[in-house]
Structure 1
Amino acid sequence: MTLLTAAETYLQDFHQRQVGVTSAAFAHLPASSRTGSWASSYDVLTSLVPAVDTPLSVLDLACGDGHLLGLLAARRQPRLHLLGVDMSQAELAAARATLPASVLLQQGRGQALDLPSASVDYLVSHMALMLMDDIEQVVREMRRVLRPGGQFAAIVGRTFLLGEVNDVFMRVFKPIASDALPPLRFGDRRTASEAGWRELLDASFADLASDDIDVPWMPMPAELWAALTDTYDIDRLDDDARQRLRSAFMDAVAPLQNGDGKIATGWGLRLVRARAA
């Protein structure tokens, strides 16, 4: 059995405790870019899968609770074959409870997919690849399971929060984190930039394209703080450090509230697309 890295062990534990946290954060918020708008960042990816009568296989890598697969299954596209792979058994159990039996679910890691070579037409992934260790091996596995000409599309993180609130948060977070946050590295920094993705995909993919995706949100301060507590670094703080951060953050964002008390912010994402060469 493959031993999990320290980051993977933490992520397993987090998603055991916080099943469905990613879809809870993103599924209800609209997304937009220079080129279009969508009901959510999940819909950005589903819009890239064509509605055709011919056979088509789609792999959702790190499918979580299956929200993206559910959107595709709702099409009732007769020859659409859906497969989800995730490291978390708890997330897969949640997916199984809501998805049609025809959707195949499999526990696994992106570094070693238990799938035949050249068996997938579309490989999609939502807010996961930037967390994966040994991303070069993940890319090799993605290319292996994709058919020649198959399409890859992923939503990854671009910036933490949109707008001025991001600077405010970082200003209060960094001093507390430097004292109280145990070191733990998530993923590969190259996944944070278009140049990095070009380096990662250049050997076996073609037609790389990326697009900045904004997910705007107007929460009350308490709503925003509740969402932040479901992020990995804040989850990893001990109770005392988390309370100190909450107090400092609430004071710091108060001047950013508009007339109804809400704050203009959201999440900054990136869409990365490429074709298997």
Structure 2
Amino acid sequence: MNSAERFLQDFHQRRPGTTPPAFAGLRLGQRGCSYDMLAATLNPSRAEPRVLDLGCGDGFLLDLLARHHPSAQLIGVDMSATELQAAHVRLAGRGRLLEERAQSLSLASASIDAVLSHLALMLMGDLDQVLQEIHRVLVPGGQLSAVVGREFLLGELGQHYLQVFRAAARRDHLAFLPLVDPRAQSEDGWRHLLSRHFTALDFEALDLPWTPTFEELWNSLGDTYDLDRLTPANRARMKQELHDATRHLQRADGTLPTGWGLLLIQARAG
């Protein structure tokens, strides 16, 4: 386990369930939120499909799948015991939960029909090994669907955020923490990662609009990995700097135009 993975495990042990509140309310027309769009890719060929949610967190996606596919055999894997405790409460026995790493799954080979993952796959260390494990547990022709990050805070607001965060990181002398494999930051990189084991690769860029007030923006950012690493005093200073830098973007109703850039990936096990 490297430093990035240790940080992620610690973060989610301390702060379970941070992702669904940030993304469940951001909708792309009638397609719904990113969880809805990911769940909609599941097209089972069996009456009782075996579905794995990799990096399941507090079970939000598993709950959605259970409601849409009540006959599915659901399995959730996460390395955070605290997240899995929350998932256990949410699912109330409608799925099997495993505390383990995606790099070394306990599941039998060719035992899963579909693997889904929401904003977790790009954060996993040794992605080549993770994808090899996904391929191993999938049946031939089995489905992989994942929503991954593409762009953090769209538009001009995102540019201002990066500037003020980098200044804050320098003040706290934050060490570089490689949370995301560089190959997982572009479609071409994902093609390279997936092409060894998967076919029928499909990519769709998703821009989810978001118009928060500044306080709503800051409260949401408080649940991100970036701000978690800052000292309280530095975080307070960054809040003021970001407020000043984005004041000119505020609309008459006090909201700010931005959004989240995601990528929906679909593939089949070769």
Cα 1:52–1:147 change in 2 (3 A) is closer
Q: Give the drift of 1:52.
A: 6.6
**Root-mean-square deviation over aligned CA pairs:** 1.4
> Is the counterpart of residue 62 in structure 1 residue 59 in structure 2?
no
| Inter-partner Cα distance in structure 1 for 2:57 and 2:242 | 30
Question: Could you tell me which amino acid in structure 2 is paired with residue 18 of structure 1?
Answer: R
TM-score, scaled relative to structure 1: 0.93
- Give every structure 1 segment of 4 or more consecutive aligned residues whose post-TM-superposition deviation is greater than 2 Å: 50-53, 75-78
Distance in 2, Cα, partners of 1:52 & 1:215: 30
**Other-structure match for 2:23:** 26
Aligned residue in 1 for 2:163: 171
- Cα distance in 2, alignment partners of residues 171 and 184 from structure 1: 17
Aligned length: 269
Deviations 1:68-106 (A, max 9, x none): 00001112532x111100010000000000103130000
**Matched residue type, 1:85:** V
Q: How many Å separate the matches in 2 of 1:182 and 1:234?
A: 14
In structure 1, the residue matched to 2:77 is 85
Relative distance call for 1:31 and 1:110 in structure 2 (3 A) is farther
- Pairing 1:10–2:7 present: yes
Q: Which of 196, 204, 222 is equivalent to 2:215?
A: 222
- Contact (CA 8 Å) 1:214, 1:269: kept in 2 or not? yes
Cα distance in 1 between the residues matched to 2:33 and 2:152: 17
1:201 positional shift: 0.9
**Structure-1 separation of matches of 2:28 and 2:50:** 25
Asked whether the 8 Å contact 2:197–2:269 carries over to 1, the reply is yes
Alignment of 1:1-277 (within 5 A): 4-31=1-28, 37-50=30-43, 54-75=47-68, 77-78=70-71, 80-180=72-172, 181-277=174-270
Shift of 1:217: 1.1
Equivalent pair of 2:168/2:230 in contact (CA under 8 Å): no
How far did residue 240 of structure 1 move? 2.2
Counterpart Cα distance in 2 of 1:185 and 1:70: 31
- Percent of residue pairs bearing the same amino acid type: 47
Aligned amino acid, residue 113 of structure 1: L
Distance 1:39 1:211 in 2: 15
Long gaps (5+) in structure 1 = none
Q: Structure 2 length as normaliser, TM-score?
A: 0.96
After TM superposition, give the deviation of residue 187 of structure 1 in Å. Answer: 3.0
Equivalents in 2 of 1:205, 1:267: separation in Å?
27
What is the Cα deviation at residue 53 of structure 1?
Answer: 6.4
What CA distance in whole angstroms lies between the structure 1 residues aligned with 2:202 and 2:106? 28
CA contact (8 A) 1:52 1:77 kept: no
